[in-house]
């Protein structure tokens, strides 16, 4: 029997490759380029819509551990991500075009996957289905999902950061450095003194925003991806203690720390494009131009992509899903990716992997894998499937969802040691599970 997957994004492509690897036939439906989402710009599978970073690769970081878990469990996209890695300190940042072209190639060249460029407007009945249509699920499918789950689907708002051309940056002002000189000096840094920062802050807080539609007026933003103007509205120093934090960024030419710094991260393998870290925004494009050009070093920056904001849809997973990612109502219907209420690229790929693995198990009449809460992926799946919060909100990988570990009293504040122990415990647990599945 063929498995239907809706959406060839991060989660859907990963799920398809997992199934194909086990010789299971897949029909992978992708609506692009016939219909666009408003955020994707290509027809490639597994496109990164905003930042090109999957977050930390360090195993003692929550997101880093999730990556290590995926590698252990045989994740396919994580391998491609390392193949297309670009320098970004400890973070796993990628050449987004190279990455998605490679994933498209893997999908198209697989004899077990049929990639169909078509919007699916309803959940197919009587066949195994994985819904991986993402935060920008088309309206008709979203309505079909709503009818099935019998709950309102939820939403919040996400914004994209602008990208500029490196050759248009003024390196008499901007300088290369990584925070605390860790790894290669891979970030471009635009320094500001107090006066320049205050001028920038004034432009930002008075800049024109794109008018929200009536139904968007009560928009909720995702806390870890707030638009820069929303962050700024919390106080004059919020940005200086957040994305524009100057600590550990020394310009070797002046040997001093600045009042604030705008960091730019490499966005493509050719090292010609850089995105403004933490500058996701919903300002009008003219206002974005004025703001970016007010940043020292970016006076003449050529902006190749402006920031935009999007509605981000997810289901009320605690009422709908098992920790195995299939629905309680229908065992051969799985959800994967951001639509489940996990948040982020890495989390979307990871749930795509688990949905693919479990769909294969189901078709082979084997027990599905429920990963324990000692693992980051298990903890995330438990969270989304059983959170008791009245207002369920999306969740990134983080240590708080993992089952706790007891440290001797004198070590309780040793965060590094704790994270190392949590990471080791997860890897050992997974190794044990791998022997039994």
The interface with ligand FAD within residues 341-400 (CB under 6 A) comprises 344-345, 348
> Quick check: 177 and 185 in contact, CB under 8 A?
yes
Q: Binding residue for ligand FAD (CB under 6 A) from 115, 130, 160, 228? A: 160
> Quick check: 282 and 228 in contact, CB under 8 A?
no
Residue 240 structure tokens: 């200086």
| Orientation of helix 415-436 relative to helix 62-72, angle to 10° | 20
Interaction of residue 6 with ligand FAD, rule CB under 6 A: yes
Interaction of residue 75 with ligand FAD, rule CB under 6 A: no
Residues 6+ apart with CB under 8 A from 68: 59, 423, 427
Q: Which residues pair with 175 in a beta bridge?
A: 189
Residue nearest to ligand FAD (CB): 9
Interaction of residue 37 with ligand FAD, rule CB under 6 A: yes
Q: Binding residue for ligand FAD (CB under 6 A) from 17, 18, 27, 30? A: 30
Q: Which stretch binds ligand FAD (CB under 6 A): 34-42, 183-191, 283-291, 377-385?
A: 34-42
Q: Minimum distance from CB of 355 to ligand FAD (Å)?
A: 11
DSSP run (H or E) holding 348: helix 345-363
- Specify the residue, 40 or 67, whose C-beta has the smaller distance to ligand FAD: 40
Q: Binding residue for ligand FAD (CB under 6 A) from 4, 5, 8, 163? A: 8
Q: Minimum distance from CB of 374 to ligand FAD (Å)?
A: 24
- Specify the residue, 347 or 374, whose C-beta has the smaller distance to ligand FAD: 347
Q: Minimum distance from CB of 381 to ligand FAD (Å)?
A: 15
Interaction of residue 132 with ligand FAD, rule CB under 6 A: yes
Q: Binding residue for ligand FAD (CB under 6 A) from 18, 138, 178, 324? A: 138
Residue 382 structure tokens: 């438990």
- Positive/negative CA dihedral, 194, 261, 250, 176: negative
301 backbone dihedrals φ, ψ, rounded to 5° = -60, 135
- Specify the residue, 35 or 202, whose C-beta has the smaller distance to ligand FAD: 35
Interaction of residue 338 with ligand FAD, rule CB under 6 A: yes
- Specify the residue, 92 or 250, whose C-beta has the smaller distance to ligand FAD: 92
106 backbone dihedrals φ, ψ, rounded to 5° = -60, -40
Residues 6+ apart with CB under 8 A from 228: 204, 239, 243, 278, 279, 280, 281
The interface with ligand FAD within residues 162-201 (CB under 6 A) comprises none
Q: Binding residue for ligand FAD (CB under 6 A) from 3, 4, 5, 9? A: 9
Q: Binding residue for ligand FAD (CB under 6 A) from 128, 134, 162, 246? A: 134
Strand order in the sheet with 163-165: 175-177, 187-192, 260-266, 273-276, 163-165, 303-305
Interaction of residue 137 with ligand FAD, rule CB under 6 A: yes
DSSP SS3 for 327: strand
- Specify the residue, 59 or 120, whose C-beta has the smaller distance to ligand FAD: 120
Q: Which stretch binds ligand FAD (CB under 6 A): 36-44, 183-191, 255-263, 360-368?
A: 36-44
- Specify the residue, 301 or 355, whose C-beta has the smaller distance to ligand FAD: 355
Residue 142 structure tokens: 């979203």
- Specify the residue, 8 or 433, whose C-beta has the smaller distance to ligand FAD: 8
Cis peptide before 33 (omega within 30 of 0): yes
Instruction: Name the CA radius of gyration of the chain, rounded.
Output: 22
Q: What x/- string results for residues 297 through 336 when contact with ligand FAD is judged by CB under 6 A?
A: -------------x-x------------------------
Q: Binding residue for ligand FAD (CB under 6 A) from 3, 10, 129, 377? A: 10
Q: Exposed (0-12), middle (13-18) or buried (19+): which is 51, by Cβ within 10 Å? A: buried
Strand order in the sheet with 129-131: 113-116, 26-29, 3-6, 129-131, 333-335
Q: Contact residues for ligand FAD (CB under 6 A)?
A: 6-12, 29-32, 37, 39-40, 49-51, 119-120, 132-138, 141, 158, 160, 310, 312, 337-339, 344-345, 348
């Amino acid at each position: 029997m063929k498995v239907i997957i809706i959406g060839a994004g991060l989660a859907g492509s990963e799920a398809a490759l997992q199934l194909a690897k086990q010789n299971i036939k897949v029909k992978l439906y992708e609506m692009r380029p016939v219909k666009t989402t408003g955020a994707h710009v290509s027809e490639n599978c597994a496109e990164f819509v905003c930042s090109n970073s999957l977050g930390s690769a360090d195993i003692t970081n929550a997101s880093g551990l999730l990556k290590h878990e995926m590698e252990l469990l045989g994740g396919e996209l994580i391998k491609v991500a390392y193949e297309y890695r670009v320098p970004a300190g400890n973070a796993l940042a990628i050449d987004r075009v190279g990455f998605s072209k490679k994933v498209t190639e893997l999908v198209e060249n697989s004899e077990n996957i049929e990639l169909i460029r078509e919007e699916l407007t309803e959940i197919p009945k009587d066949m195994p289905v994985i819904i991986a249509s993402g935060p920008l699920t088309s309206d008709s499918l979203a309505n079909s999902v709503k009818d099935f789950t019998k709950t309102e689907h939820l939403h919040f708002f996400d914004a994209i950061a602008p990208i500029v051309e490196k050759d248009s940056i003024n390196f008499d002002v901007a300088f290369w450095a990584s925070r605390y000189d860790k790894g290669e000096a891979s970030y471009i840094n635009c320094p500001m003194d107090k006066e320049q920062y205050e001028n920038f802050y004034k432009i930002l807080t008075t800049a024109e925003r794109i008018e929200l539609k009536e139904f968007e007026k009560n928009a909720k933003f995702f806390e870890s991806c707030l638009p820069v103007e929303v962050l700024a509205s919390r106080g004059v120093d919020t940005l200086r203690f957040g994305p524009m934090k100057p600590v550990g960024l020394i310009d070797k030419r002046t040997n001093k720390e600045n009042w604030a710094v705008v960091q730019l991260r490499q966005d493509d393998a050719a090292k010609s494009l850089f995105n403004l870290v933490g500058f996701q925004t919903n300002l009008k494009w003219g206002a974005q131009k004025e703001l970016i050009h007010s940043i020292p070093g970016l006076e003449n920056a050529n902006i190749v992509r402006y920031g935009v904001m999007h509605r981000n849809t997810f289901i009320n997973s605690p009422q709908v899903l098992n920790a195995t990612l299939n629905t309680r109502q229908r065992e051969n219907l799985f959800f994967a990716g951001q639509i489940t209420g996990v948040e982020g690229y890495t989390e979307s790929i990871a749930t795509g992997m688990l949905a693919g693995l479990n769909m294969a198990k189901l078709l082979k009449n084997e027990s599905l894998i429920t990963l324990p809460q000692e693992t980051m992926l298990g903890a995330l799946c438990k969270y989304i499937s059983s959170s008791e919060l009245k207002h369920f909100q999306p969740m990134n990988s983080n240590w708080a969802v993992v089952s706790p570990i007891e440290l001797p009293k004198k070590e309780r504040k040793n965060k590094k040691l704790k994270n190392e122990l949590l990471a080791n415990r997860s890897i050992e647990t997974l190794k044990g599970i791998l022997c039994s599945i």
